[in-house]
Amino acid sequence: MLIATDLDRTLIYSAAASGAAGGVPPDGTVTVEHLGGRPISFMSAAAAGMLDRLSRVYVVVPVTTRTPAQLARVRLPGAPPRYAVAANGGVLLADGRPDADWAATVRSRVAAVAPLGTAMETLSTVCDPEWAAPPRNGADLFCYAVVDRSAMPAGVLERLHRWADGAGWAVSLQGRKLYLVPTPLTKSGAVAEVARRTGATFMLAAGDSLLDIDLLEAADRGVHPGHGEIADSGWSAPTVDALTATGLRAGEEILRWFAARVADGSTGPALAGRVRRR
């Protein structure tokens, strides 16, 4: 059994994304990320406990579009994961270190699409300083800009899609970040490599953004929260469950969903019982 899960707005939440009144996480949350000494990402205490119990029994793989440096700020409950995926599948971390063999595979795959420099120029052209910060390089693999969604003009995403569709890139707007990512750079590809190395034969997955769809489709069973790009788009698949919960509560429901799938016969009952105990 392998459990692959997106982080931001799936398992962990900023104060603004938490869904709490005033964007202030309520009592009973666990801080999982600090920046400059300030707490910036959270889980509910119940979600933290469930994740800890799952990770004691199964291979739980954090899968994120964050760069390795951004991912390094996150401290999830329990022992550090043996494997993690950063840069939307561009970096495979084994015991916290980037895997050189996987890096070589990724370089080969992205060589066929438009270069990163062209993507950066395209994003810079579209983004106006009145509503977007200057685009940033993501691990020399993709680019993104922090934007004010309320001030972003209509048609921006359409312009980016017109370029991306012919250049071998994908567009995703997640929270306050607008991404351009090479289409060969996929979360599912990196997770398939983890499954190969661990011998996993059954996968559960969770995610909220369009960049998570390939991961959900590759899983035996998947789930997404009631917020995010996937929920807004109306996308669905027979093996993917759509939750109605949003914010921090969605993080809890996703982990309950994982525990329930573990207990429904996909694995042995003894292991399932160990996960479900509180």
Q: Kindly report, residue by residue over 163-194, the tens digit of the pLDDT.
A: 999 999 999 998 899 999 999 999 999 999 99
pLDDT tens column, 97-133: 999 999 999 999 999 999 999 999 999 999 999 999 9
Superfamily of domain 2-107+185-276, CATH level 4? HAD superfamily/HAD-like (3.40.50.1000)
The residue type found at 207 is G
With DSSP H G I counted as helix, E B as strand and the rest as coil, what are the percentages for the chain, rounded to 5?
Answer: 40, 25, 35
Mean pLDDT of 130-147: 96
Q: Does the predicted TM-score (pTM) go above 0.85?
A: yes
Alpha helices for 203-268 (secondary structure H): 213-218, 229-233, 247-261
Burial class (CB in 10 A: 0-12, 13-18, 19+), 158: exposed
Number of other CB atoms surrounding residue 232 within 10 Å: 12
